[in-house]
Structures are given as C-alpha cells and as structure tokens.
Structure 1
C-alpha cells in the first residue's frame, strides 16, 4: 500500500509540474526573493525541494542519519532531537566539532523517534514526550561556518498546560550572560552558540550553560525556540561572536534564507545561461514517477556535494562530505562524467587538468583521489606495480573521454598539461599503461591485491577481466581520437594492440554461467560472481560478446544479484561471499553507483526492459534521502529477494556519494542515448532501440544548441534544436 500511495503521489506531482515545462527557461531571474525562489521550480517544470524530500523514517530503521549541506560544509544530525556532528575539514571518523546541545522537555530528555531528510534541512521528531510533541529543524546558512536549529513544541493533551523547554550547551557563559563559548571540540577553534530568543532563565552548571523557556500552552498550542552556532579559529573569536549574534537576532530571516539559497541553486542547475554554473542539466519530463524521482534525486545528490571554496575551481564536486576537506576520488566521480560535463564544463575541464597529470600507480594519496586544495604538483615516481586503485587509469580516461564527447571540446586534445604532455598523449599513456604492469597468465596484466581493487573481496585480485577489458576499450577509444586528429598510423597500432589482447580477456569467460574468471598469481583460475566484471567487462566488450554470452551475463545479474528494491554487489554463490560483508562490494548490499552502471550494461547487452524495470524499482530507497555510498540489507530476511534495504554506515560507508549522480547520468546517456562519439556527426547511441517508457529530455547543450530528445517504444529522436 505504501508503494501505491508513493506512486500515485508522484504521478500527480510530476504531471502537474511537467505541464509547466514549456516556459522559456532563459527568461527566469537568477537572483530572486524567497517568494519567487519558491516558484522557480514550478515554472521550470521540475520538482520543488519539498517534493524531493524523503519520508519520515522510524529511527530504529536508520543506520546513517540525515545530513545537511551548504556548498562549503556538511553536518550529520544525531539521534537525539537537537545535537549534531559538524567538523569542517573532515567529519569521519565521527567528530563532534560543536558543543552537543541537548533539549529537555519538562526536565526530561527524549530521543528522536523519527527523522526526515530534505535538500536544505534535516527534521527530527518525537510526538510522545509526555503530552508534548516536539519537532526540530536543522539547517545551515549558505557557504558559512554556521548551524541553525528551530525547535517547535506542541501541547498534545486536551487541557491547557505549562511547558518548560531547556537547552543544555556545553561551554562557558559569555560576558553578556547568555551566549556560550566552547574551545574543547577542536584544537585552536572556538564555537559560539546563541539562542534565537532570550531565555526566561539562564543557569550555570559544571562545564555547561542551561537556557530555559516557560510558556502556557492551550490545547494544541505551540511554542518555538531556536539556537544558532558558529565557529572559527581562536584569533577570529570576536568576528565569530558578531556573526552568531547577528544570526540569532534575525533568526527567522537567516533560517528562511537557508532554503532560498538552496532553491536558487536548484533552479540554476536547469536554466540555460544561469549565473552560477557554466552549463546546465537537461530537464526530464515523463509520466513515470519512479524515473522522475531517481533522475532528480541524483541531481540533488550532485548539488549536495558541490563545493565553492576550493582553488582548483570555484564549482567543484567532492566525493562525500564526511571525508577530509577537498577529497575527490577518481573512481566515484567518473560515474557522473556526462552530467558533470553538462552542468559544469568549465570546472570539469579545470579539474581534469589536475587529474590527467596524476600518476595512476601512485603510492601517495593521489593514487586514490585528488585534493581539490592543491592547484599544482604530482607524483613523478616510477612504480613497477599499482599502489593505489587499479581502476585509476580507466576512470581518469573515461571521465576525460566523456568530457570531450559531451562538450565537443576537441581543442582540449592539444592542450599541454603541467607535465608537458598534451591531453591526447596522456590518453594514450593511460590506455597503454597496462603494457608495463607485471603480467600473469597469458600475458594478462596484474592489477594488484585486495587493497587495489574491491578491498573486501579476497578472491578479486590479480589478472581480472574488468581492468584488462577496459584496456581494450581505452586503446580503441584513443584510436578514434587519433583518427580524428589525423594520425591514422597510431590509431592502427592501438587497434592492433586491442585485437591482440581481446582473445586473452575472452578466455576468462565462463560459458553457461555468464560470469568471469580471474587468474591469480599463484596459478589458480578463480571464478568471480561480482557485478564489477559484469559492468566493466560487459560495457568494454559489448560489440565483441556473442548473443549467447550477453544473454547469459544478463541472466546471471537478474538471477543472482538483483533484489526487489536493490542489488547485491557480490552473488551469495561467490566463493568469497561468507568473508565479504562490507555493504558496498559484498553480498549484503551494494555501492549506490553499481545500480545505474548495472542498468547501463543490461541495456547495452540487450535487455532494455529489464534494465529499466530494475532502475524504477530502486526509486523506493529514496524515501530515506539522496544517494549514498552504499545501501545494506538488514534484518532476519537480509538474504531474501525482498530484503529490506537502508543507507549503510558501518565499515566507513558515507551518507551522500557523488557516484549516486549516475542515477541521473544513466537517464541522459542510456535511456535517451545521448552519447556523441569521436568522429561521428550523430549524438544518439542507438535511436532505433525501443524504449520501455515515454518521456522528453529538454535542453541538452551540445555544439552551441539546446537539444530536446523524445523517447518512446519507437525509439529516441531529436524533436528540437535551438
């Protein structure tokens, strides 16, 4: 019944919004008041921020609590009603950051029993506080070191009564007798907390200050209090106090602005010629609520992870908010490559200049991720094996290739990078990096051990199909760029290398099962039943696989990996399943990015209907909020097809993750087939493929025009270019 209500609601909402999508987007204001900001989404025909919100979730079902982002920082709310974790510079492992301000109602502290996630706020509530219902709303001011919390208490009894709310703030009382300062949460940093309205009483306790408000409430009557907090290095304490005092004095105005700024950023993301982004995303219109939901929640995820304070570019996208400030993992970010190229091509190009000089085998931090705080420098050491992630070479390559194809920025191929090489020369180096790696059976490249690959799949090591297949794809793709560049000789060399490697990779296929083997350096041939081989080998070799092999591979995924609402990264039948319980890569859950990547490969291997149906089934998980690093199955039925699923927190899984933008990316590149190729005039991958849905994708910016695509069971076609 819950799913039926969910479906009916979104059909109604999105049909109404979609009917408005014919307005001229370029005429919308870019800087607007709070009232007009709330109308921009409706004019655009996209969901509002409140439409995007998750459901109220019982706290006992939540493993990873809701987060709030303000385009500089994030916070994660706690399991009580008012405290939170906020630590600019890196929240994980969990650090308090600010004083843990806690609430009592008539002298009693109550836990939050439910929580709800919005793009601009996190709600918590307990409706049963001995005759009082309490709901709290936590937000952050745009691009500021700030937290705001509003507390609303309601008398739920049938008689008038006096209610006492109290906030306990760890720290010292300031000179004005109200504000609280705290220098114990972070070395060299002082936090200041102030109430939104003057307390009726202030008490000094050991290591804490208590503010109390007492109010007579009629039956159903409400009272509201709030507080705001800010922090800075100790030398800036005076300015911090000025800021927090200002925020507290105009609490309602700043509180509302938290939403207004998010609304404007949300609308800007879809408006050609907006004043914030250097590009824009397409607007999706469809009567399928699940398709609409996943697409727009993917964009929400992307904007939540936008950061505007890093020197690489003022509009950057981090991997997850909890990680060390400015961390951008290549692998995760590669999954949003086309969406990134459409929304922020200028920032993406600036970032790729840094990606392309990094050493894909590095043993330094850059062997996994880019630090967006650094504008130059790279690891010049030569390593005879991979020290970082084995997928670095192909994900850096893939992201650059998608930028080139989506933007048609061919001049970038000739641009010289910090290391003196051109972009094309660097693509060539990435595509052929495997040639000097250690070799295993039949000359297949050794891609390292567990820490280089899936980190929790002990058998997924050494000469794996996925990375070796990506080598074939990269060489073929580089050959296309060389042909376009007028170097047919190098193109032929690369195509010949790919042709020589192909049978070696194909020999790893296990006929009849639809899975791939790996050769380990101990001489063992090991069967692997994991989605990563399906995704990366299937896509790289989609033109080389036979119809039987494609069918077998899709059957493996549908029979062993897909569940009702999610998927297993590893099959329960994999020999390592009992020893691989991490939510993102094991059998008891999946990294969020694997779902749209699996959908893409299923579609490309000949099952668009199955791919689309699975994609839409997963929309139910967004009741918890945006896309995360991983979701896990939980409870006694966790091995079942209908196992309940939630955002994971254990073993280092983060709240939001940029890989979740792939839920939007796959709509653009796969369902609507926007996939320009090097040297091809067309922009559609396969316009004749019957689509198992109907919809339009407006304003795809390509080659100086805004293109609109229409998809239906007859295929995909361009219906306008302007």
Structure 2
C-alpha cells in the first residue's frame, strides 16, 4: 500500500492445527460477527449476541463422496476465516467464509482438489436444515429464532436436490483430473419474518452475483483499513499514526492491535455511527468501560468525534449502580441515567477510575479543553462530573485506616477470591485522579479546588503506601474481617505502580519489576496471578487467574515496567508476545494449555472457557502502548510537554508518522538517543 502499512493478507494468522484451537476464528462486517464451527462449513451467527453459542442460521454441512469431514486446520484473516482438511480420502477441501459489509449476510466458498494421481469423479453435498422453497432450490428456516427467518441459497444450481425430513440436500458431481479442482458456494441471510420476501430477494441477489459480492467483502475491509491511517479520510473523524520499524514483532503487535479495533467497530448504533463494542459475542451494543479505557489514546486519535459523543453518555452513568450500566454502556440508548446514591459499589469497582482515565486521555490527546465546560444531560458540566469521579471514594464505606472498601469478588476480579475490600489498586487510583483533577482545575484558574484535591491526595498517600510488602514487590489488601492479605497479582502492579510511580522509591520499583519478571512473565505470554498467590489454586479463570491472562494486562504491564525503570525488559517482553498473533487478533484472554502449562515455556492459545470471548477491545492496548509508552506521546494537561521522557534511550528504532495534535501532523522518531519530534 502507498501508506506503507501492512496489507490485510500480511496481517493474517497462520494455519493452526485444530487440536490446538480452543476459540475458533471470527469474521466481522462492522455490524455483526460470526464464529466458524469445527467442521468445514457451518458457523454461529446470531445478530444481537451469540454467547452462549446460538446457531442463528441453519448449520449447513458438507459431505465429500458421502462422508462428512471435520476441519483439521483453521486460519484467521481480518475479512475471512479459512478452514481445511487436506485428507478427505483423496480430496483436499478448503472453505472460505466471509460477510458482506454491514449486512445480515454470510457467504461461503468451498474448493475441492483431487489429490490422487488419477482422474476421478467426486460428489459434493451440502445439507441445509429447513424447508425447500417454491423454486425447488432455496431453503427457508424459521425455527432457530422466534419471528426470524433465515434463507440459504447456492450460487450455482445443484445437479440434484432432495429432501430428508427437515433437511434439504444439494448435490454437485465433478470429474476432476489429477490436481484438478472445483468449487461450490452458498450464501445466507436473515430478517424478521415480516420481511421474508425482501430477505429472499437479497439472498438471491447475493447468490446470483456471488463472485462480485464475495470480492467486495475484502475490498470493503481494505478501504476501512486504509481510512484508519489516512489523514482527511472519508470515514473516520481522525486517523492513526503509521508505524515504521525494522522490528517485525513491534510492527506485528501494533498493526494487529488496530485490526482488533476495526473488527469491533460498529456503525449501526445511535450513540455514534462509529462506535467500538467490547466483544462481538455479547448482546448488541455492549461497551464495557474498563475494557474500552485501554484503547483511550488510539480511540481519541482515530475517532475523536465518536469518542466525545460516547463520553457524554459515560459521564452521566452512575459508577456504583448494580444495573447493566454499572458494568457497560448500551450503545443503543442515547438518554437516561441513574441518580440514586448507593452506599457501596454494586457494579465494577474500577468504573470511576477507568471512566475518568478515558475522559482525561480524550482531553489531552484531542486538546479539546473546551469540553470541560460543556453541560451534560444531567445538568452537570464535564469538569464537575470528573471531580465527582475523582472523589467518588470519599463516600464509600471505609475499612482499615480509612481506606475505601471496593467490594467483593464480583466487583473486582470475579475469580480471585482474596482480591476484595481495601485493595491498593483502586485506592491508589483515587490519589492519581485527585492529582490529575487538580491539574485541570489549575488550567481553569480554580486554585482553591486544586489545592483541596492535592491536600486530600497527600493525606491518602501514606495509607496506600502502607499496603506495600517490603522486599516482595507486591501489595496487600485489608479485608473487612481484619486480615491483611498479600496479593500477587498484575492488577496491583499495573494500577498501583502507575498511579504512584513518582512516589515509589527506587528499591520499591525494582522489587515490583522483579516480582513481575520472576512470577508473572513467561516466554510468550504472562500469568495474571502468580502461581505463588495464596488464592492461585482457586482462581483458574484464564483472564485473571494463574493459568493465563486477559490480553489487556500484557500491554498495561509493559507500560508499568517501562515507567518503573526497566524499558529494556518491557520492550523485549512485548515483542516476545507477537507469536500469539499467529492465531489472529487480540482476544479477551489467552490461556496456557497442555501438561506443561505451569512452565515458563507453556504453550498459549486464545481461551474460550468460563466466558472468555474472541476479539476484545482491550487488545487495542497493544497499539496504545506503542504510541504512549514506546514513543512517549503523552500530552500533559496544558500542553507543557507533548512527549514523555524524550531523552530516555529507546531499545528500538522506528518512526511514528502522521500523529495529529493541536491541528498539526508530526512524526516521532525513536532510537538509542531518545525521541525527537519532526514537524511535517
């Protein structure tokens, strides 16, 4: 490409043996998502959320010469998912599954190759559950979802059509020479039953013009990919920087992070036409604050208009509510908020700090300081809403030494039974928020409020610092039963370490980094919880336990390692993790598997058990950390500095081009002498 970015085919994962795959590849079309099944042709597609797994469409299955074969390998691309089995009794079969842009549609091409040394006749059969339509070819199925009809049609008329019970069978016969191939295709669509005629018209159109629609699936993705990096593009209100480096692992993680972001873009929601959901399997329009906060800088650069519209909704949400909004925003809803004062955390404990962090990064990256004075739906100004988030802890119930009680397991890590109550991470974030809020008040000429917040932060600091475990590099929590419990988890390292990086001693920083390197990092990935944590035996969920890690923890850990004084190790670890992208984009979590899963070199894969989903927006942090940490693009409130620690030697060389800030584009050039700003 002229932009100098990888092509979509460059981004593709590798062929992965099916026995190593736990979470199958997905396809996204900027409105919906499908996940392919373990056979060669069926898939899960259920607009509005497919988890737990729902069929949605008829499970169309393939037989070759009367025998059904499972896929033995699979490969993930941004615009398609491939499956194959090269050993179908003399026939090699590969299938290619795609979705038309922003449509309720699925397309599948099946290619069969004669792998014998002789000419032979093969019979390909597709079995489609449903009723035969009036034309004697199409299949209609209204049994999978109440009030919804799915229609499936072949692109080429079958040689024979028959019906067995509630299944329609299409057959094609081909004479193939040695090495010869043939292909068949089908397409499917769905809508509410009252639109049955329109659905059939669409599916017929797609089947008749199969090749052009199939090719357009890729073209539309290519256009969106190019738009993401093009200043003044016609789709996004901003654009992302172009990364250039000779380090293939750095390039790989950065661009796969952007792939993850675009996979989760949705254009059908009223909050904004360019929104980013958390995961495609969830109920339509679900955007978790915590996950989305990890892509804050990338989001602000690529889609500042949509981000601002979304943050207006975030800022009127109640961070303590136990309703759905206590965890996530519904992008289908444009009005409404909960003003009830709850005397404890009912949703996620990290809501206040992650919402605040995202607003703060939007303000700094876009330079849109006027946003602070805008009035929200609830009548508050943005700056007042931020103040409320920064001081939300004040009215929470208190535990030991006046530390805020952030609730129980369901409010924090959900699967780490000891990680409860007065934890260092959230209390440390309270200090950081008040300090950051003071900076915004100083810019607003409110020195009195700024001083109040700084004083309050200073009073809380020694209470949080007392939770540190000297010599161990880890933090304790005070539980409400009076026990002081040691926690060996990456969340304390990340959120406490970053919040207090200017307060920690050199010894504490070194001890914290050593803990991570010795107990959490592995060859290709990391453990969210140390195997030495007292709760490790009872904490086996892949995202937060000792047998894997939430994908977002990896770049956030890298960022904290860098900020605590070990950029070399942080960068090396980041690059080592690029091998996991052979399976595709970043996900909710990756797990260690097999008999060697407690070892340093344990194999790793995308997890599915215990609710872990495919692509997750937190994975965009792999791109965010390149921009904010490796290149140091961290504008301060007031723009005194745009690049953090520019004199720190970088353990790599490269350029980040077309960074948009304060109405201008510039390039950051990084190397062993630090980072230089080059005007464009």
| Length-normalised TM-score, structure 1 | 0.94
Q: Map of 1:96-495 to 2, 5 A cutoff?
A: 96-495=55-454
Shift of 1:363: 1.0
Q: Secondary structure of 1:203's partner?
A: strand
Offset at 1:215?
A: 0.7
Measured after TM superposition, the shift of residue 466 of structure 1 is 0.1
Aligned mate of 1:668, from 593, 613, 627:
627
**Separation of aligned partners in 2, 1:417 and 1:183:** 44
| Equivalent of 1:633 in 584, 588, 592 | 592
| Cα deviation 1:507-547 (Å, max 9, x = unaligned) | 00000000000000000000000000000000000000000
Displacement of 1:682 after TM fit?
2.0
Task: Report the 3-state secondary structure (helix = DSSP H, G, I; strand = E; otherwise coil) of the residue aligned with 1:438.
Answer: coil
RMSD: 0.4
SS at match of 1:590: strand
C-alpha distance in 2 between matches for 1:468 and 1:449? 15
CA displacement at 1:680 relative to structure 2:
3.2
Give the Cα separation in 2 of the matches to 1:375 and 1:684.
36
SS at match of 1:183: strand
1:447–1:464 Cα contact (<8 Å) kept: yes
State how far apart, in whole Å, the 1-side matches of 2:650 and 2:447 are: 36
Which residue of the other structure, out of 48, 53, 59, is the alignment partner of 1:89?
Answer: 48
- Structure 2 distance, partners of 1:637, 1:487, is 58
The residue aligned with 1:51 is 10
> 2-side partners of 1:700 and 1:596: how far apart?
20
Q: Distance in 2 between matches of 1:718 and 1:596?
A: 24
Distance 1:244 1:650 in 2: 35
Do structure 1's residue 580 and structure 2's residue 535 form an aligned pair? no
What is the aligned partner in structure 1 of residue 528 from structure 2? 569
Structure 1 runs (4+) deviating above 6 angstroms are: none
Distance in structure 1 (CA, Å) of the matches to 2:291 and 2:639 = 28
Tell me the number of residue pairs that the alignment of Structure 1 and Structure 2 aligns: 680
Is structure 2 residue 552 aligned with structure 1 residue 593?
A: yes
The separation in 1 between residues aligned to 2:604 and 2:296, in whole angstroms, is 27
Q: Tell me, what secondary structure is at the counterpart of 2:355?
A: helix
- Shift of residue 381, structure 1, vs aligned partner: 1.3
Q: 1:534 aligns with which of 467, 470, 493?
A: 493
Deviations 1:267-321 (A, max 9, x none): 0000000000000000000000000000000000000000000000000000000
Distance 2:290 2:44 in 1: 27
**What is the match of residue 637 of structure 2?**
678
Q: Distance in 2 between matches of 1:148 and 1:158?
A: 32
Tell me how far apart the structure 2 counterparts of residues 448 and 682 of structure 1 sit (CA, whole Å). Answer: 37
Deviations 1:359-386 (A, max 9, x none): 0000100000000000000112110000
1:615 and 2:574 correspond:
yes
2:476 pairs with 1:510: no
- Distance in structure 2 (CA, Å) of the matches to 1:589 and 1:71: 29
CA offset digits 1:137-163 (Å, max 9, x no partner):
000000000000000000000000001
Paired residues of 1:319 and 1:327 also in contact (CA < 8 A): yes
Is the 1:364–1:379 contact (alpha carbons within 8 Å) kept by the matching residues of 2?
no
Match of residue 508 from structure 2? 549
Q: Once the 2 structures are TM-superposed, how far is the Cα of residue 57 of structure 1 from its aligned partner?
A: 0.2
Distance in 1 between residues matched to 2:507 and 2:193, nearest whole Å: 67
C-alpha contact (below 8 Å) 1:632/1:647 kept by paired residues: yes
Question: In 2, distance between residues paired with 1:198 and 1:404?
Answer: 57
Gaps of 5+ in 2: none
| Alignment of 1:602 onto 2:561 | yes
After superposition, give the CA deviation of every residue in 1:190-240 in whole Å (9 maximum; x if it has no partner): 000000100000001110100000010000000000000000000000000
| Counterpart-to-counterpart distance in 1, 2:300 and 2:484 | 40
| Separation in structure 1 between the aligned mates of residue 29 and residue 494 of structure 2, nearest angstrom | 34
Q: 375-384 or 500-509, which moves further after superposition? A: 375-384
Aligned residue for 1:28? none
- What is the CA-CA distance between 1:501 and the residue it aligns to? 0.1
Question: Match of 2:38?
Answer: 79
Distance 1:598 1:204 in 2: 57
1:479-499 C-alpha deviation (Å, 9 max, x unpaired): 000000110110000000000
Q: Distance in 2 between matches of 1:675 and 1:637?
A: 40
